[in-house]
Chain A
Amino acid sequence: MGSRDSRRILGPEKSIPYSLLQTQEMKHFLAEDGLRWDGRSAVDPRKLFMSVGVISQAKGSSYLEVGNTKVCCGVYGPMDVQRGSDFNMSCKVLCEVKMAPFSCSVRKSPQPDKQQREMSRQLKDALETVIVLDKFPKSQIDVYLTVIEDDGGLLAACITAAGLAICHANIDVYDLVIGASLLWHDGILYADPTHHEEECEGHKIRNSGSEGGQLTVGIMPKYANGQVSLLVQGGQISADNLCEGLEVAVEICQRIYTLSRKTLIDYVEQSLEANSDSS
């Protein structure tokens, strides 16, 4: 299973996860009453919890829970770039997404695999559009994300968490970037899919090739007038469906945006109270 990590004690080479031998039962996406298996309608997003200031050592940090997906983000910077050869008149953004080995039902190797590297690169692209890079010449900003549990909508959760943490770190941005993820299955649009729904869809696309796909967008809702900073689409979706999906995504992002703002404002008020209490 790829290159062996010589620094850690790993399991036997030919081990396979037992879940592959189990028969996968595909739950129906929509039951008869029009609700999904967890009680949501097709376009309802999951419950959200966010907080900032969770990592005391980091300049900015945030913790986000979307349903069961849990992501923690730490932002360090702007710091001086180590090597003189990397001097650039705009800031360098370094982004790393690390998934904990216990985050998925199949154990992930501690070494970053292709999916994690791709997510890191996509997140870096999204953040480079959001941060005002020209304000920090010859500097770099490090964004580290740890995924504690993956239950669908992972890239969207990472985008939202990173946006929150960067704002908490007092780094100049054009707007708070929020992520949303969507799924098309049998012609119906589902907002904020869970891991099981994403897997069923992926399985179905590979085997039967019918129309269906996934979409993750990062949107800057307010000050940038709904500009899209990242769009990742997989599968086969017609252009009309894509436009409809984008509108739903913008609506979801607006709702999450109000919550993010409130979280940041509450944090500032709390720290002001704490300062005035201690002084």
Chain B
Amino acid sequence: MVDVNLSDAEKRYIVDGVKLGTRVDGRDHLDYRQLEIETGLVSTANGSARIRLDRTDVLITVKMEMEPPLLDQPKNGQLHFFVNCSANAAPEFEGRGGEDLATSLSSMLERVYSSPHTLNTAKLCVVPGKHVKVLYVDIEILECGGNLFDAVSLGVKAALWATKMPRIYITGEDGGELEFSVSDNPCDVDRLDVS
């Protein structure tokens, strides 16, 4: 998204090409660029994905924490999205420049994932009313080459699919407070259903 000063002739070339049905890089108007998705990159996170759509590069990580639930939704877990446009992606993102784009991306994702059809947060409940799993999804925009919304939403879905959350067992009760044991076995994990 570097601001390239196009001459009038170049603008005419692009517009006339689109009218004839061809874009500057030879694609048809409904064609996608080459897409690559990798998961399981970051070992410190419960789930991670990297998505590359030609020049657009986005890294998404998912971390799980346990917290008390929201008062009006005691049986549902939560999802929080944080988008960070790093200054590497485009010079205008330096400092607080990327904040507008970041808030619009994160509010779009929150709207999409608010429905139980996208992700059923009732499955993230551990003890209703007391403890639920909260998933913090951190999105890092490494390079901005256009079509960020598509890339970010695909990447979030991939990262959530790849998320491995250790299973939590309730071992006992000690004076009203529950005790938990978290499984150390890397294969004893819960997965998320993102279909």
Contact = CB atoms under 8 A, between A and B. Distances in A.
Interface of A: 16, 20, 114, 117-118, 121, 205-209, 234-236
Contacts of B181: none
B111 A234 contact: yes
Nearest to A17: B71
B107 A114 contact: yes
A117 B103 CA distance: 9
Nearest to A115: B107
Contact of A207 (B104, B116, B117): B116
Interface string B72-111: 1100100000000000000000000000100110010001
Contacts of B103: 114, 117-118, 121
B107 A118 contact: yes
B116 A206 contact: yes
Contact of B115 (A16, A117, A121, A209): A209
Nearest to A24: B72
B114 interface: yes
Highest count of chain B CB atoms <10 Å: which of A16, A206, A234: A206
A117 B115 CA distance: 22
Interface of B: 71-73, 76, 100, 103-104, 107, 111, 114-117, 120
Contacts of A234: 111, 114
15 contacts: A16-B71, A114-B107, A117-B103, A121-B100, A121-B103, A121-B104, A205-B114, A205-B116, A206-B116, A209-B115, A209-B116, A209-B117, A234-B114, A236-B115, A236-B117
A118 B101 CA distance: 11
A98 to B, nearest CB: 17
Contacts of A114: 103, 107
Nearest to B122: A207
A20 B100 CA distance: 32
A256 B32 CA distance: 41
Contacts of B100: 121
A215 B192 CA distance: 29
Ranked 10 nearest A-B pairs via Cβ: A209-B116, A118-B107, A209-B117, A234-B111, A20-B71, A205-B115, A236-B115, A20-B72, A209-B115, A121-B104
Highest count of chain A CB atoms <10 Å: which of B72, B76, B100, B115: B115
A112 B157 CA distance: 30
A208 B71 contact: no
Contacts of A208: 116
A234 B71 CA distance: 23
Contacts of B107: 114, 118
Contacts of B117: 209, 236
Nearest to A207: B116
Given A118-B103, A206-B76, A234-B111, 8 more contacts: A20-B71, A114-B107, A121-B100, A205-B115, A205-B116, A206-B115, A206-B116, A236-B115
A241 to B, nearest CB: 15
A118 B111 CA distance: 12
A118 B72 CA distance: 22
Contacts of A209: 115-117, 120
A163 to B, nearest CB: 22
Contacts of A121: 100, 103-104
Contacts of A118: 103-104, 107
A231 to B, nearest CB: 13
A234 B103 CA distance: 16
A114 B73 CA distance: 19
A206 B103 CA distance: 22
Contacts of B116: 205-209
Contacts of A206: 73, 76, 114-116
A198 to B, nearest CB: 13
Contacts of B76: 206
Contact of A235 (B71, B72, B115, B120): B115
Nearest to B120: A209
A159 to B, nearest CB: 17
